[in-house]
Structure 1
Amino acid sequence: MATKGFVVYLLTCFSIAILSTFFVSSPSFNNHVLQFLNQEEPHIVLSTFKYSNLTYSSNGSYSAQENGRDIKVWPAIEFNWRSVLATIIGFLGSGFGTVGGVGGGGIFVPMLNLIVGFDTKSAAALSKCMIMGASCSSVWYNLRVPHPTKDVPIIDYDLALVFQPMLMLGITLGVALSVVFPYWLITILIIILFLGTSSRSFFKGIEMWKQETIFNSEEEKKQNANPLHNSNGELLIDTEYEPLVPREEKSKLQILLFNLRWKRTLALVIVWVAFLLCQMIKNETEVCSSWYWILNLLQFPVALSVFGYGAARLYRESKRRRACGNSEPVCEANIQWTALQIAFCALCGILGGTVGGLLGSGGGFILGPLLLELGVIPQVASATATFVMMFSSSISVVEFYFLKRFPIPYALYLIAVSVAAGFWGQCFIRKLIAILKRASIIIFILSAVIFASALTMGVVGIQKSLSMIHNHEYMGFLNFCEN
């Protein structure tokens, strides 16, 4: 399926799902569903919540309430099967999630909610802590390794300048939509998106696996055709070839300094600080007040200015190379940076951030597969997506800290697990790639993590939606200013 076909698939499914909200919100629909469930399969009407009075939260989830007040369910850190299972899932999810460049928020939130026992608001906040820890450790690891094929940084800062501001804007939009959209609709949209992106990435991985098989077989034939030793074990020297000049080996410090680009990183930090200040001040103002909307609007010029700077650089350089007949791509993305392509990337960045705001993740579920679609090799796509995700997740962690949304001891423990997992995942996968000579492993891991997130979010979402129907809760769009 081509990229345009995939976009049509998403837009069609999303439109049908959103329009169906008007039908599902009707009282007659709920009555018919309840009658069917009670008559045909009464045992599937589950009540998975300790408290039946549920309200919608700004992070796209439901939390328990008692007498109109949120209930914080914060289990203590104990050595039991729940904490052990959560540690294993969190370690593997962080390790493989950061390798794929998706974070793993779709796995962490259900795990913390269903296994450990946190309320959904706290689970979403702790999920951000885990994503931040894993992404920071992965970025630090990636800064100390060279690019696999070129003498350029392994993090593509040009793409980061284009996508990070749009991703941050999308997160703001996603949080707002999470207040308006009913939970069942968010679940359906996420399942549609995750199944589409995981399938698309899986077929991309198969295609790359086949190309690697052909390349490896050709390299093996070349080595067999020009052996270095004869049958007696004597070294053969071909005088037709020039002596091999060894490449200059760089130290870890030299690679680190080479991979850092201070000016572009500073631009991304400015966006991060501006958004953080707006969010912190906005939390102290009344919802839907004049200052509330002013602070929301202030984020647009900041994000658009940095995005415009990065997009203009790519457009001018791409236009100059086309005029000179140079087909070499400007950055790691193997596309021509026309105005239409730039607008498409901006739209995808906003879409990725919107999903991150709805789900409580860092937006990597869109950015990782998108970079692969643009022709970025898996190692660079993973490093760049993780780098961008570090900004989007850390800003949420700081905001949640000031709002006291998570217990500090448990957050520090989960961050430590994620940091260790991030290093382990990068070391393990890169050694595996070096042995097997197949970078497509990263794409398969990305696809598997997204598919696992679709399953976990789907199961939890269906259970909560059935509980809402059982409790005769409103299934339509909600009022933003009242929620």
Structure 2
Amino acid sequence: MAAAASTTAGLYGRLNRTSTRGFLAYVAAAGACAAVLACFVISSAEPPAAAASNDAALRLSSRSTRVWPDLEFNWRLVVATIVGFLGSAFGTVGGVGGGGIFVPLLNLVLGFDTKSAAALSKCMIMGASASSVWYNLQVSHPTKEAPVIDYKLALLFQPMLMLGITIGVELSVVFPYWLITVLIIILFVGTSSRSFYKGILMWREETRKLMETQERDAQSKSDRAATDVVFDPSYAEPLLPQHKPTEKSGLETLWFNLSWKNILVLMAVWSSFLVLQILKNNSQTCSTFYWVINILQVPAAISVFLWKAMELCRDSHARRMNGNLECVCEASIEWSPAQLIFCAFCGLLGGTVGGLLGSGGGFILGPLLLELGCIPQVASATATFVMMFSSSLSVVEFYFLGRFPLPYAGYLIFISILAGFWGQCLVRKIVHVLKRASLIVFILSSVIFASALTMGVVGTEKSISMINNHEYMGFLSFCE
């Protein structure tokens, strides 16, 4: 078992040590181009002095008004149900949630305004991720005796992800819609391309390992036909090892996968952010109390992150000093201050994208966990687990703000719960039969690319409409 686990970890470590400099250069260059474009458009969008009196009306026209269609059976509801079910199923399997598909679906097909669509998208992500987590708690780790959810990585990323969501929600008030669309498309195209490339590398390596295993099995059978030969278990070490951990009953697996200490810490972080969000929403925007509550979220997130980061760094250093090369968590990297800062930045970025888009931040977290060396099953389970906390926080907050209709929310949550569970069940069985964990990576990249495509269509359509209506396309006032 140890040999199989080390073989698989080493394999994914080699695949994930591929340089990320090209991807980071792409993101930096594309972000710079978006900033230049923003400056050009905003300078062109500034109203002339003669029209200064109409400036407030133009700015207000850029904000979407609340539109809540009634829940009734028609072709729109059927289409939304089918697409929402498939989006939830594949989104949770990939560990990305599917918010990039849900928001355009709810906006274009059902007719919700953008803000209500983002709130309902969080409801769907919460339902799908909750059922997916329940499924993952009942399955064993594919390579070793460990929970399939990496709680150490979840604790590392969850506080920064929640802080990023808060930042993203506030930026969504200020940023013009077209700029949000451009930034998200840039990021999604980059992450989907990177994930697809990694999926190809994994597929090739899986093919090589499976072919070697078949050749060794054939050689072993031919040798056994001539004389009795002791079978070497190392021959059966493909990318997805044939050797499984100790068989457990469903209840035993569930209790083994639960880490109550880490779950209680995560619940404490969740509760603290919820209290701060409720206090902030009940205060006057831009008042002193409002900004104090906003600033308090920063030490709350950073303190938990630093606690877990120091623990990972200390454990990793102690193991290296003792000559133990085993990873302290599923990520096959040597934790260092530079890498931890990079993880903090990615967590903030993922949360910010989630706040801007109405997703759970999985579009960054899922590919990031793969980049850090997690095998696809663990990356998907951990990202979904973190999304369950972040999305549920947003749902509770949106409920107090009255941002979504309860009948629609209940229906969409029910559909997402079914989709999340059966999507995980079906795809994991296919992966088990075909011995192709790379299928999870291909699903992840496909969902991200589909989100980029739908966001591009919706963003382009709305931007053209704003241009034709001569609406203001610059930055909006946060305190308005």
TM-score normalized by the length of structure 1: 0.88
The 5 Å alignment of 1:151-300 reads 151-227=145-221, 238=229, 248-300=246-298
Aligned partner of 2:437 in structure 1 is: 439
Aligned partner of 1:132 in structure 2 is: 126
Tell me the number of residue pairs that the alignment of Structure 1 and Structure 2 aligns: 446
Q: Does the CA contact (< 8 Å) of 1:21 and 1:475 recur in 2?
A: no
Amino acid paired to 2:181? T
Residue from 456, 468, 471 that aligns with 2:469 = 471
Q: Deviations over 1:98-156 (max 9, x none)?
A: 00000000100111111112222221111110000000000010011000001011000
Q: Does the CA contact (< 8 Å) of 2:145 and 2:245 recur in 1?
A: no
The 5 Å alignment of 1:401-416 reads 401-416=399-414
RMSD, matched Cα:
2.3
- By how many angstroms is 1:82 displaced? 0.9
Q: Deviations over 1:222-241 (max 9, x none)?
A: 1111129988xx9x864577
- By how many angstroms is 1:55 displaced? 4.4
Distance in 2 of aligned mates of 1:175 and 1:225: 60
Q: Does the CA contact (< 8 Å) of 2:163 and 2:351 recur in 1?
A: yes
Q: Does the CA contact (< 8 Å) of 2:46 and 2:474 recur in 1?
A: no
Amino acid paired to 1:18? A
- By how many angstroms is 1:180 displaced? 1.8
Q: Deviations over 1:284-337 (max 9, x none)?
A: 111111100110111112111111111111000111122222222211111110
Aligned partner of 1:26 in structure 2 is: 43
Q: 1:76 to 1:342 in 2, by over 3 A?
A: same
Distance in 2 of aligned mates of 1:373 and 1:246: 25
Q: 1:30 to 1:373 in 2, by over 3 A?
A: farther
Q: 1:240 to 1:276 in 2, by over 3 A?
A: closer
Secondary structure, counterpart of 1:26 in structure 2: helix
Distance in 1 of aligned mates of 2:71 and 2:170: 33
- By how many angstroms is 1:20 displaced? 2.3
Aligned partner of 2:387 in structure 1 is: 389
Amino acid paired to 1:267? V
- By how many angstroms is 1:473 displaced? 1.9
Secondary structure, counterpart of 1:63 in structure 2: coil
Distance in 2 of aligned mates of 1:440 and 1:307: 30
Residue from 299, 314, 317 that aligns with 1:316 = 314
TM-score normalized by the length of structure 2: 0.89
Q: 1:239 to 1:324 in 2, by over 3 A?
A: closer
Distance in 1 of aligned mates of 2:451 and 2:115: 18
Amino acid paired to 1:14? G
Residue from 5, 12, 24 that aligns with 2:29 = 12
Amino acid paired to 1:146? S
- By how many angstroms is 1:77 displaced? 2.2
Corresponding position: 1:147 with 2:145: no
Amino acid paired to 1:257? W
Q: Give the share of equivalent positions with the same residue, in percent.
A: 65
Amino acid paired to 2:364? I
Distance in 2 of aligned mates of 1:429 and 1:457: 26
Q: Does the CA contact (< 8 Å) of 1:143 and 1:154 recur in 2?
A: yes
Q: Does the CA contact (< 8 Å) of 2:45 and 2:474 recur in 1?
A: no
Q: 1:159 to 1:203 in 2, by over 3 A?
A: same
